[in-house]
Every structure is written in structure tokens, then in C-alpha cells.
Amino acid sequence: MEHIDFSLVDWSRAQFALTAMYHWLFVPLTLGLSFIVAFMETKYVRTGNPEWKRITKFWMTLFGINFAIGVATGIILEFEFGTNWSNYSWFVGDIFGAPLAIEGIMAFFMESTFIAIMFFGWNKVGKKFHLASTWLVAIGSNLSALWILVANAWMQNPVGMKFNPDTARNEMVNFWEVLFSPVAIDKFTHTILSGYVLASIFVIGISAWFLLKNREHVFAKKSIRLATIFGLISAVLIAITGDNSAKMVAKHQPMKFAAIENLYHGEANAPLTAIGMLQQSNEPAKHDFVFKIQIPGMLSFLAFNNTDAFVPGIYDLLNGNPEHNILSYKERCEKGKIAITSLGEYKTAKKSGNDSLAKAALIRFEENYPHFGYGYYADRDLTELVPNVPVNFYSFRIMVGLGFYFILFFAIILFFALKDKLQNKRFLLYTALWTIPLAYIAAELGWVVAEVGRQPWLIQDILPTIASVSQVTPASVQITFWLFFVIFTGLLIAEIKIMLTQIRKGPENAAEVTQNSQIN
Amino acid sequence: MTVGKKLWAVIIIKLIIMFLVLKIFFFPNFLKTNFKTEKERSNYVIDQLTK
């Protein structure tokens, strides 16, 4: 790693971020709307009320538009792994391959098969079979997300694997440890719930538009009631999983946790900064508060369920804190350097047939492997190991703030919906409509915190971005960055345009649906 | 043009761009393109990681 081309690393990261963020514009709506549609169709099958069929078919069409335009946008990420991140792709081995293969074989095929029945099976298959297909699409979509999120969680907290120095690949030794790691469970539940919240807000916002236009009152009210209950439950659960996520980050990614809090000097009874504004300090890689509102002891409680617990700051991690058994990054870099050198020595000794040297090198390597990634920073400025503090600090607060706003939003909408007074509250209806983009902002910021916060690591503590990139030219990455920007922006415009046309058109004629229901 | 036809058109155009243009011309698999065997690939990655 003597010659690291940062423009290559930065462009490769920017391209991945661009692709992932565009991909995530489509995914959460698919995850949530699939279940909302399944609930709506269940209502139709149980009650036989053709209005529920109209409702189901309308939202199913919007689901279909989002699914059709968003499908396969995630495959681009896999292209990027192979081209731009070849060292990483090789290094992760079957840890990434196995979950993604299961996703491809099981979840994607399940989703694709039943989606055909869901869209084209009306009046061709029985009501119950059609309903089962709709549910299987919802389950399949969410299972697809499971495997990708398990792989992502493994990168944040690598467990259940062993590095093979002969092949330079990680090998899975315990599939269940990978699948059921607390980080994976939390990552999955928190992420899919964000999709449920987003989809609920989407349904409420568009239904509110119909009420504002004085159209389709029955359709809009029924849609709002169902989506609000689903959204409120999901929003409350997301707060719980968010709390768990914070505990996981504090335990496994303390630097990310400190960066989110702009905490430089660790302390017991650490306060949580509810609101604050940062400015660059004169000290390296430090930001000071211009102003802050803090809740005493809350950060310690949030991280460790104990207000007296010590929360390490950025400087505790960089410089070490013997009192709290925190190894300095300098020491970790030295150990990492030993791991890297030992891996090279092991390889050379194996090649020359010197088994005793190889064995000794392997022992040194394995002892120091938990610090492997730090070795790449042994001769570098250690502040490179600190993620971007302002991005994490603000993104986290906006995401959490919006999360609490969504709970309040659902509660107020539900209150007026149950009293059947929502149609008279034009301010609330406009608020519902304008909450749709806020849901997308919160969903994207969640990923910003998760991914920018773990920088510079692709695999926490083991593999940084600078050791993961392929030796390709920065120009080629720049070209494909702009290509993707154009393609994805085109897809987004297509999605919005087709969706708006379909929304303006509204649900299909009630008489037609009643007639079809009788046939069915 | 019905919404269904529009969506099929978007899907087909998108898949053609992704798999027949981007994948082939812009996103070759770096290790598979430059090395023939798994052994060569692992040696290359170890060299990259330890140099």
C-alpha cells in the first residue's frame, strides 16, 4: 500500500454511494408497500367488499411501477464490487457470496414467480390463491432484503468467519452466527421497518392528495386508516430497534458512536446532545460546538443502559485510555503492521517449503489479525481513521428527529381519521403530502450514518477502503460515475412521471371492479 | 400506451443497458479478466494486501 491513489478511492466510494442511494430510493417503498397491499387484499378477501379490491389494485399498480423501475438497480452494486473493489470482493469470500446466492435463488425467484400471479392473476386464479401470492411477494421482497442486510451487518461486525491465509479469503465457519448476529438482526429489523414507515407515509400522503382534490373519499379514508395503523406500529418499533442499533454501534464501532456525538473526550455519565451546531476547531480533526442542548447521562444510558457507564471519545480511541482498557490506534497500527508483514512472510515461507517459518509467521498473523486493517495506517496520519464528524452528527440528528416526528404524525392522522374529520383538516392533508419527501430523506440519512460512520472500514477493523480498491484508472471510475448518474436520474424521472400519471388517473372505475368481483 | 407496456419498455431498456452495455464494456470483473486461475487471483490479492 505504498502508493495509494486517493482520487481512485474517493471516486470508487462516490460511485458506490451514488448507486446505493439511488437504489435505496426504490427499495423501501417495495418493502413496505408490498405488505400494505397484502393487508388491503386480505381485507377484500375477508369482507368481500369490492371497494377494497379497487384500493388493492390501485396501490398494487403503484407498487408495480416502483418495482419495475427499481428492479435490478442493486445488481450495479455487484458489478462495482467486481470491477472497483476486487481486493475486497476476493477477501470477503463466501461470507458475501453465500447470503447473496441464497437471496438470488430463494427470495428473488419466489418474489418473481408470485409477482406474475399477483399482477396478471386477477380473475384467473382463485381469490385465496391470489391473496397467498400477494403475501408471498411481500415476504419474498423482505427476505431479499434480509440476505443483503446480513452481508452488510457482517461488514460492520465480522463474526462467524475465519481468514484462510493460503487463499486470502474469509471462510464461513458458522452460518448461524453470521445470520443471527445481534448486529444483523438489528440491521434487518431497523431497515425493513424504515421501509414500512416510508410506504405508510407514501400511502397517507397520496390519499391526502385525493382528499384535497375532493376525489375518492371512501378509497382515501380506508387507505389512510390502514396505512396509519401500520405506520404507527412500525414507527414505534423503529424507535426500539434504533435504540438497539445505538447499543450495537457503541459496542462494536465506538469510533462511529463518538463521531455521531462529536465526543472527543470520553466520560462517565456522558450527556446526549439533542441539538447542536458544530464548527471546525484549531485542533486537528476536531469540531467544537457553537451551541448545544444536552441531556445529562443520556448518552451513557443509550449506549450501555447505565448512566454511570464510560463512553469513549475520539481521542480515547486514537490515543488510548489504559484506565478503561482501550488500546491506542498507534498500538493497533503496530499490531496490524505485524499481521500484514506476517501474512507476507507466511506466503514466502510456504512457497520456499520452510514449514517451521511458515508456522511461526502464521501464529504471529493470527494473534494480530483483529488489528489487521490498522496496519495500513502505521505510517499515515491517524486522523484518517476518524470518520467525517459533521456528516454523522447532523445526519443522525435529522434522522432521529424525523423518526419522532413520524410517530407524532401517525398519531395525529390516526386520531382525526378515526373521528372521520381528516377531510376537513386541509393543513394536515398538506402536511401529509409534504411528509413523503421527509420519509425518503430519513431513510437515506440512515444509510449515511451507517456507512459514512464506519469509514475508513469496508470490514470493521480488518479491511479499509485504501486496501480494497482495484488498480483501475480513476478516469474509468469517473466515466461510469457520470454514466450512472444519468441512467439513475433518468429512471427516477421515469418513475415519478409514470407514477404521477397513474395517481392522477386514480383507482379504476368502481362499476368495473364490482363486475369483475362478481365474475371472480 | 398502457402503464403495463410502458413498464415493460423501461424494464427491457434498463436490462439491455445494464447487461449488454455496462457489464460488458464498463464493468469487467477485474480479477477474472486479468488472471486465469484461482491460485493466480489469490496470489495477486495477497501481494496487494502485503506490499
Burial (CB count within 10 angstroms: exposed 0-12, middle 13-18, buried 19+), residue A105: exposed
Number of H helices, E strands in chain A: 19, 8
List the grid coordinates of A355: 514449514
Over residues A77-118, the pLDDT tens digits come to: 888 998 999 999 999 987 777 777 777 676 667 777 888 899
Nearest to A20 by CA among A396, A487, A395, A444: A444
Percentage with pLDDT > 70 across chain A: 96
Measured CA to CA in angstroms, residue A143 lies from A28, A140, A150, A189 at distances of 13, 5, 11, 11
Tell me what the mean pLDDT of segment A1-22 comes to. 85
Strands A169-172 and A267-268: unpaired
Measured CA to CA in angstroms, residue A279 lies from A151, A318, A395, A397 at distances of 36, 21, 16, 16
CA of B7 vs chain A CAs: smallest distance (Å)? 6
Question: Which of B8, B17, B29 is closest, CB to CB, to A82?
Answer: B29
Tell me what the mean pLDDT of segment A279-308 comes to. 92
Asked if residue A488 belongs to a domain, the reply is yes
Biggest alpha carbon distance in chain A? 84
In 3-state terms, what secondary structure has residue A464? strand
Is there a single domain that holds both residue A64 and residue A164?
yes
Is there a single domain that holds both residue A350 and residue A402?
no
- Answer yes or no: is pLDDT of A12 > 90: yes
Asked if residue A1 belongs to a domain, the reply is no
Instruction: Choose the final residue of a domain: A367, A383, A399.
Output: A383
Asked if residue A516 belongs to a domain, the reply is no
Is there a single domain that holds both residue A19 and residue A74?
yes
Asked if residue A517 belongs to a domain, the reply is no
- Answer yes or no: is pLDDT of B17 > 70: yes
Helices (H), A369-473: 389-418, 426-452
Is there a single domain that holds both residue A38 and residue A79?
yes
Question: Which of B28, B32, B46 is closest, CB to CB, to A347?
Answer: B46
Is there a single domain that holds both residue A76 and residue A197?
yes
pLDDT attached to residue A441: 98
Is there a single domain that holds both residue A148 and residue A106?
yes
Collect all residues of chain A within an 8 Å Cβ-Cβ radius of residue B15. 72
- Distance (Å, whole) CA A474 – CA A453: 24
A113 — phi, psi (to 5°)? Answer: -65, -50
Instruction: Choose the final residue of a domain: A324, A355, A372.
Output: A324
Collect all residues of chain A within an 8 Å Cβ-Cβ radius of residue B41. 90
- Distance (Å, whole) CA A362 – CA B1: 65
Measured CA to CA in angstroms, residue A265 lies from A194, A195, A270, A317 at distances of 32, 36, 10, 9
Is there a single domain that holds both residue A425 and residue A466?
yes
Over residues A195-209, the pLDDT tens digits come to: 999 999 999 999 999
- Count A/B contacts: CB-CB distance under 8 Å: 96
A420: containing domain: 6-253+387-511
- Answer yes or no: is pLDDT of A519 > 70: no
Asked if residue A309 belongs to a domain, the reply is yes
Is there a single domain that holds both residue A70 and residue A90?
yes
Asked if residue A123 belongs to a domain, the reply is yes
Is there a single domain that holds both residue A367 and residue A396?
no
- Answer yes or no: is pLDDT of A172 > 80: yes
What is the ipTM metric for this complex? 0.90
pLDDT attached to residue A513: 56
Is there a single domain that holds both residue A227 and residue A133?
yes
Asked if residue A520 belongs to a domain, the reply is no
Place A511 in a pLDDT band, splitting at 50, 70 and 90: low
Instruction: Choose the final residue of a domain: A284, A303, A324.
Output: A324
Nearest to A236 by CA among A417, A96, A411: A411
Amino acid (1-letter code) at residue A371: H
Burial (CB count within 10 angstroms: exposed 0-12, middle 13-18, buried 19+), residue B25: exposed
Place A516 in a pLDDT band, splitting at 50, 70 and 90: low
Is there a single domain that holds both residue A157 and residue A105?
yes
Burial (CB count within 10 angstroms: exposed 0-12, middle 13-18, buried 19+), residue B12: exposed
Question: Which of B6, B28, B31 is closest, CB to CB, to A498?
Answer: B6
pLDDT attached to residue A283: 80
Place A4 in a pLDDT band, splitting at 50, 70 and 90: low
Higher pLDDT, A14 or A282: A14
How many domains does one find in chain A?
3
- Answer yes or no: is pLDDT of A2 > 70: no
List the grid coordinates of A454: 464506519
B32 touches chain A (CB under 8 A): yes
Is there a single domain that holds both residue A136 and residue A208?
yes
Place A335 in a pLDDT band, splitting at 50, 70 and 90: very high
Tell me what the mean pLDDT of segment A269-285 comes to. 91
